[in-house]
Amino acid sequence: MGSNGINSSTDAYRVLEAPIGQARHLRIITVGAGAAGLNFAHQINRHMQNITHVVYEKNPEVGGTWYENRYPGCACDIPSHSYQFTWEPNPHWNKFYSTAPEILQYFIGIAKKYDLYKFIKLNHQVVRAEWQESEGIWRLGIKDLKSGIIIEDWCDFMISGSGILNNWKWPNIPGLQSFKGERLHSAAWDAEAIWSAKTVAVIGNGSSGVQIVPTIQPDVKELITFLRSPTWITAGFAQSKAGPNGANFNFSDERKREFEENPGIYLKYRKEIENELNTRFKFILKDSQEQADAVKFSTKDVKAKLGEKNPLLKYFLPDFSVGCRRTTPGNGYLEALTERNVRAITESITEIVPEGIKVDSGEIVKVDMLVCATGFDVSFCPRYPVIGQNGILLSQQWKVKPEAYLTMAVPNFPNHFMFLGPNAPIGHGSVLPILEHSAKYILRMIHKCQTERIKSVVAKWDAVADFVEHINTFMTRTAWSTHCRSWFKNGKIDGPITALHPGSRIHWFHMLDQPRFEDYKWTTSDKNRFAFLGNGFSTREGEGRDLAYYFDNPDAGFESIRY
């Protein structure tokens, strides 16, 4: 008889000598120590038992996107008191919209406070992952970036926490490498870069471009901004709590002290902001009154800042719905475009030449520094090969379109979950509560495998097909489906929409409350699916346990059917 209590020499069934509820040991590897990885490490440490958890992070510090993005003006356009974990509220934020360095320090502070570095291997980059069907494990290759050595590791569950806006890319413009001046990407900024008294070109008018332009404008000799796509510049998120006209502002020492000393007041303030963010989804419905109001408000605001006769108006009053591209709060951006040392060019770029940028008219715009605020690879495919069942590559399976089950699981890839996969609610408000809800769902799945002796779990194709059909049908009623080029559609004009959830944030949270276990294929470690029932006892009746616990709360268990 084997050590697990099941006869290993015959097919005869034997009772497992263990109580029901006993958690078998599992090894989990998480890729990435950004917000997702840190939250996941904290939740495992706090709520799970008998887990070995390793987090591999390619950077020399935690923080993910907030470690990597250091461009001038880099900040979060979600209010600080919403862009934080619910389990670690910070009453000491300096600004209503926090800058990147302060957000990074928040995450570093969490890693230190909760001793999460003991799970994290910095300067280690995953370069390969392959599922082993017979063993029911993942085998990974990890490169130690200090030594260059490739090491091997394995896990029962592999979790991708590397983020959606992580793999930055240069724009596909002919001659880019020929430029003789200084060339920078917003997501790989050189801290030593000097732009003062230079002629600087900024390509791109998405979130990072909108932050860079007003930040460097006062210092440059001339700023040339190339507007690649029409876009709406909107008011800041949680406008009612922001400063005049949606401006950022500093919290006073008195206000921070009040938040610290009065948790009830602070919670009320945080919930007011979150409530406001959670009402925004209504304007995404393209035929709604809220959409009409958003168009009216943004039109009035843009005209007031640019001037009624500014030729750029047609570029900032597009014919697609507000929200088709990610709404871009741009405090100071439109005003910067009216400054005397700023030139906005809407002609298409034909090529980059050694001395600058050539446009459709044939003009060569000479510049000293070229800033590409041109975004990321949003194909959702990891940078490294992920090989699932029957040797299928995730990048090949997603070559035409990335499709996942409830954003987190993919057919052919057992025991693999991801944060912020295809069709997550990433355009709906603060991403941190989204990560928290994802982690709860994933850990419920893992806990079921751990306590019911399940070897592997994988999403079913028919469940994904139905989910995708619902997404595609629902999205026709949204602003996202209108005629614009957007990273929500992987850079395409007319879909499909691969980056957003078909509903509000609350809708998504509600969807994850109860896992639909029937949408997965489960493979047990034992021939008898009920082997986990064990020796007739429960982990709930150990020494000193309350054996009448069900008297305490007669309503326990009904939570999930309340609305």
Band of pLDDT at residue 563, cut at 50, 70 and 90 = low
pTM to 2 decimal places: 0.94
Would you say residue 1 has pLDDT above 50? no
- Segment 221-239 mean pLDDT: 84
Would you say residue 118 has pLDDT above 80? yes
> Does the bond joining 89 to the residue before it have cis omega, within 30 degrees of 0?
no
Q: What is the CA radius of gyration of the chain?
A: 26
Residue 346 to residue 349: CA distance in whole angstroms: 9
Would you say residue 140 has pLDDT above 80? yes
| Best CA proximity match to 420, nearest among 430, 431, 412, 411 | 431
Q: What is the pLDDT of residues 335-373, one digit of tens each?
A: 999 999 999 999 999 999 999 999 999 999 999 999 999
- Segment 217-234 mean pLDDT: 90
Q: What is the per-residue pLDDT for 562?
A: 63
- Weakest-pLDDT range from 96-105, 407-416, 481-490, 530-539: 481-490
Domain 169-234+291-320+322-375: assigned CATH number:
3.50.50.60
Where exactly are the structural domains of the chain?
Answer: 26-62+116-167+378-524, 169-234+291-320+322-375
Whether the domain at 26-62+116-167+378-524 and the domain at 169-234+291-320+322-375 fall into the same CATH topology:
yes
Amino acid residing at 478: T
Domain 26-62+116-167+378-524: assigned CATH number:
3.50.50.60
Q: What is the per-residue pLDDT for 196?
A: 95
Q: Measured over all CA atoms, what is the biggest interatomic distance in the chain, rounded to whole angstroms?
A: 87
Band of pLDDT at residue 5, cut at 50, 70 and 90 = very low
Would you say residue 187 has pLDDT above 60? yes
Residue found under tokens 């000799």? 221
Residue found under tokens 């997501």? 187
Q: What is the pLDDT of residues 13-25, one digit of tens each?
A: 999 999 999 999 9
- 171: its two tokens: 């724009």
Query: Could you say which DSSP state residue 143 is in?
Result: E
Angle at which helix 35-47 crosses helix 100-113, to 10 degrees, equals 20
Q: State the CB neighbour count (10 A cutoff) for residue 496.
A: 19
CB 540 within 8 A of CB 460: no
- Weakest-pLDDT range from 149-158, 425-434, 526-535: 425-434
